[in-house]
Amino acid sequence: MNCPSMPKMVWFAVALLITAATGCARLPYTTRVIADDVRVAVMLQHDVEPVSYSHPAQLSAGEIGAILRGVSLREQARLPLRWFDEERLPKTGFREDEVLALAPRLAEALRVAGTGERVYFELRAPGLNPRYDRDITAGWIAIQDSYFHIAIEYFHSQQPATLFSPYDYNYPTPRSAPGAYVLYFEPGRFWVVDPKTNHRAVEFNSFLKSVSGARP
Amino acid sequence: MIRVTSRYWLAVMSAWTLLVGIPNAGFAVEAGRLVEKDGKYVFVESQDPTVKLLMERALKQGIITKEEYDRAVKESEERAYLLQPSFKAWYDRGFNFSMNDNAFFLKIRARFQGRMTQRFRNEAWRNPGDAKNFPELLGVFGDYRANRSEQEATTFSLRRLRLYFMGHLFNPDFKYFIQLRGETGENAQAPGSLQLFDWNFTSTHVPWLNAQLGQYKVFFNRAQINPTASMQFAERAMVMDAFTASGLDRRDIGLTIMNDEEIYPVNYYLGVFSGNGPNFNRLGTFVSEGPTEGTAASPAQRNINANTRLDVDRVMLASRLNWNIIGRPGYGEGDLVYSETPQMAIGGGYAYNPAINTSTSNGGIGIDLANLNIRRQLATFGNGRQLGNGIIDYSTWAVDYVAKYRGWSMQGEYYFKNVNRHEKGLRLGNASGWYAQSGYYLIPRRLELAARYAYWDPDTNAADDLIKEFNVAASYYFQSTYDHKIVLEFSNTAMGTGGFSEGRSAPLPAGFGVTPLDAVGGTLVENRIRIQYEIFF
């Protein structure tokens, strides 16, 4: 088989890689860490999509807690199982202890977030192998006009707590790809489509007015 | 010359015994636990919520005292604890089994690499073929054979089949790792079989003084430390395999002390090993001796000669230093995690492996009976030019660099091996080589394109012997981990056949004829396409 001479191929490959490497970020990246401890991590992420969130936003921990308590979800099954998935009941998105740990940090983050930044959060608990695994619930929130957007990427997912396997030395253990979840919100009348993004979000102004127990 | 004896072993073994004997702090009992339900993990209180509510109300209304409440809660938790199974089992990157107190943990994993190869070779592969770098040794006498083939080949192979048992004993700081391997044989001297690959114990009780004992990959150079499961290409470059710490194989039996890579930015590794590759030590290699001590064996009375072990008090020393200048890039190739901040590290290693018997000192293989283990390792890893040169001391250096950022990665290494022949009359130089590779994720965490160039001079005294290799690969990672991927790779290699090799080049030893294996000469060129599917579960 004839093939191009090696130097040409090498230079082509090098040029391609350098060109590609000088490109822009293609995944959201952290701009500021609000909290990072054994229980919870909250950070601001620059969104790579062209967005203009209504940040900074003034929501109290109680108000955010009230919103989080209404979130439930179901893991999105692959086709054809998805057709039969409606029979499975959604799970509560956040336990009370998780709401209490998370809400104050989210409120703090929303107060300092910029218009191009979303708030990433991660709830951590010891995994089934407590030293080396974590039970992770993670996602992000953002506010656009009167819509509270929330996305879940991991829901009580077992993920490595170390960068590399503690047993298979130097084998990298990156976190697996985010899962796909279908989110719900109760009361459902506040779970509406944001016309700007075409995604479902909580119409939080109306919701908070209806909630008497939203603590400041 | 440094002479390392078995007394060093006694010292390091004593240190190991001390390390693993250090007790670890226990774990506090929690008020609940995570349990799996419908594939998810939820936290469940040890006490029934209804009982808890009634108890709290009773306490509030003064029906029971605080002491009674506390005692009831404690007894309830003890009852729940005693009633639960004493172990748990689940699937997460392997089958996991653990005792509830986490004193024992077992993870069982398996890895499959299936490969289809389409290969095109030039006429030089038909004649002369490769008799120097990757020769084949046949029979109990290890006769040299040139590796030849026709131009095209289409093959399917199970390149790597691995079975892993890993976990910890007593507490999470005393770890074990066992690996068995199987693969399809593609070489006349290495038929497919199931083999013990790794078996080692690691103590991580003291972060600055971890210790690993057993059989494992020597912590020496970046390319060898990185597992084959986390490569950007279907295979390592040939130069990576040729410059192992021992000069024979990337694995060995011994002890390494090091600090915790998860904690310290500068990492050291100091190891002492048998220096003869896996599943083997110096007592397994010998020279033939005549009936009278010190006399050379005579082929005419081969059956009544002696097998004599020489230099069996030697060990191999291996060291490495790694500095994570920015971040912590690790050893896995490519930036699969899409590093948000730049990652950069440099490292270097030095290894000294004395008194390796590349053949008995009578010039050519094929006239003496011997254990062929070391010779086959030399041939398998491309160091066949060193065969037939008697006793050799290897001093090998390696320096490496790696950088990663937002899906882009680059790494490279330079190697140099000083080949010190005890019998200076034979013709063989040193060896050197390098490689550089770079990759970029076209789709972050999913699809990567990578290229590599490798250069290897197997004998610095010889001309027309260079080995050059170019690879380009596209890899798709199904779940954004190294565990499940498919690789499409194109490779071009050019291997010079020049230079002198004992028993294969003219002049041949007496009794071996007059036509050497490299009579025709030329450059061995190969273009190759590999499609490789891998799953690690």
Kindly write down the DSSP assignment for every residue of B135-182, as one continuous string.
-EEETTTTEEE-B---SEEEEEEEEEEEEEEEEEESSTTEEEEEEEEE
Is residue B141 pLDDT above 80, yes or no?
A: no
As a whole number of angstroms, the longest Cα–Cα distance in chain A is: 77
Task: Give the sign of the dihedral formed by CA B228, CA B232, CA B233, CA B238.
Answer: negative
pLDDT value for B28: 34
DSSP A127: -
pLDDT value for B364: 52
End-to-end Cα spacing for chain B = 47
pLDDT tier, B22 (very low <50, low <70, confident <90, very high otherwise) = very low
pLDDT value for B244: 95
Is residue B25 pLDDT above 60, yes or no?
A: no
Q: Is A31 on the interface with B (CB under 8 A)?
A: no
Q: Percent helix, strand and coil across chain A, each rounded to 5? A: 25, 35, 40
Which of A9, A11, A12, A17 is the best substitution to test chain B (most B C-beta atoms within 10 A)? A17
Percent of chain A with pLDDT over 90: 54
Q: Note whether B177 contacts A168, CB cutoff 8 Å.
A: yes
How distant, in Å, are the alpha carbons of B57, B75, B79 from that of B71? 16, 6, 12
Beta partners for residue A41, in sequence order: A36, A122
pLDDT value for A24: 63
- Closest Cβ–Cβ partner in B204, B226, B407 for A170: B226
Q: How far apart are CA B492 and CA B527, in angstroms?
A: 5
pLDDT value for A18: 61
State pLDDT tens for residues A164-196: 999 998 899 999 989 999 999 988 899 999 998
Mean pLDDT over B306-317 rounds to 90
More confident residue, B254 or B66: B254
**Mean pLDDT for chain B overall:** 86
Q: Note whether B492 contacts A129, CB cutoff 8 Å.
A: no
Beta partners for residue A181, in sequence order: A75
Q: How far apart are CA A98 and CA B220, in angstroms?
A: 45
| Phi, psi angles (nearest 5°) of residue B189 | -105, 0
Global pTM value: 0.83
Contact A121, A110 (CB under 8 A): no
How distant, in Å, are the alpha carbons of A48, A111, A198, B296, B508 from that of A55? 16, 7, 19, 87, 82
Mean pLDDT over B160-183 rounds to 93
pLDDT value for A3: 46
Is residue B35 pLDDT above 80, yes or no?
A: no
Close Cβ partners of B129 (under 8 Å, ≥ 6 residues apart): B146, B147, B148, B149, B517, B524
How distant, in Å, are the alpha carbons of B389, B416, B426, B517 from that of B507? 14, 28, 12, 11
Both tokens of B126, joined, read 């038909």
Beta partners for residue B26, in sequence order: none
Q: What is the DSSP string of B329-385?
A: --SSSS-TT--SS-EEEEEEEEEEEEEEESS-SSSSTTSS----HHHHHHHHTT-GG
Low-confidence ranges of chain A (pLDDT < 50): 1-4, 215-216
**Strand, helix or coil at B7?**
helix
Choice among A104-108, B4-8, B148-152, B349-353 with the minimum mean pLDDT: B4-8
Q: Is A89 on the interface with B (CB under 8 A)?
A: no
State pLDDT tens for residues B41-97: 555 666 677 887 888 888 888 888 888 888 888 887 777 777 777 888 889 899 999
pLDDT value for A171: 93
Is residue B4 pLDDT above 50, yes or no?
A: no
Mean pLDDT over B352-358 rounds to 92
Both tokens of B312, joined, read 């069996």
Cβ-based contacts of A89 with chain B (< 8 Å): none
pLDDT value for B55: 85
Q: What ipTM was reported for this prediction?
A: 0.83
Cβ-based contacts of A156 with chain B (< 8 Å): 40-42
Kindly report the number of other CB atoms within 10 A of residue B138's CB atom: 14
Contact B458, B447 (CB under 8 A): no
Which of B492, B527, B535 is the best substitution to test chain A (most A C-beta atoms within 10 A)? B492
- Burial label for B75, CB within 10 Å (0-12, 13-18, 19+), is exposed
